[in-house]
Amino acid sequence: MMGRMPVRAAGPLLFMLLASMAPVRLPAAEPPQGGVPSSKSFMFNSQEAGELAKALADFERMKSTGNAVEETAAPPPDVPNIYVSALAYYGEGQWTVWANGYRIVPGKQAPNFSVVSVNEDRAEIAVGGTKPARFMLHPYQTWRARYNDIVEGIVP
């Protein structure tokens, strides 16, 4: 049996042979021209293709101008953001809320908003203006007037 190698030794030798070969370099793929995915794509429907086209156009605009594309912003609200820094509740009608830098107690309200009720861990607040709103805030939460939502932290 000359010239034949045992099967056990063939595996490591084959690995060493393949590992010693020079890596194959493939030519760099060119990006597709036009940059807009086809609406007849298997990966994207026509709506997704449109969104990708808009994103690519915004990216190209940002590269050329250096500025991100500004979306149309909502008009500034006529009431400020409202944040609760702290509250102290001693019982019905005996409470203090610190909001937007004001110390609010029963009978003394802040301008632009009113504290409607308070319990051990949150305050119910009402705002007027063009878009009236009523919401509950825990300490260290902010109601953002522009978005009519509540976020954690203090956002002046």
Q: Please report the pLDDT score of residue 125 as a whole number.
A: 96
Domain, as residue range, for 57: 36-72
The amino acid that residue 55 corresponds to is A
Percent share of the chain, pLDDT over 90: 40
pLDDT band at residue 154 under the 50/70/90 scheme? confident
Compute the average pLDDT of residues 73-93. 85
Q: What is the DSSP letter of 102?
A: E
Percent share of the chain, pLDDT over 70: 67
8 A C-beta contact, residue 46 and residue 39: yes
Q: What is the Cβ-side half-sphere exposure of residue 36, based on CA atoms within 13 angstroms?
A: 12
User: Do 144 and 102 fall within a single domain?
Assistant: yes
Q: How confident is the model at residue 33 (pLDDT cuts 50, 70, 90)?
A: low
28 found inside a domain: no
Same domain, 86 and 145: yes
**Structural domains of the chain, count:** 2
Mean pLDDT (whole number) for 29-49: 66
Task: Identify whether residues 60 and 116 lie together within a single domain.
Answer: no
| Strand positions, DSSP E, the chain | 82-91, 94-99, 102-104, 113-118, 123-127, 133-137, 141-144, 149-152
Residue 80 Ramachandran class (φ > 0 left, ψ -120 to 50 alpha, else beta): beta
134 and 93 both lie in a single domain: yes
| pLDDT over 70 at 153, yes or no | yes
Q: Look-up: residue for tokens 């760099």? A: 28
Query: Rounded mean pLDDT of the chain?
Result: 80
The more confidently predicted of residues 152 and 52 is 152
Residue 111 resides in a domain: yes
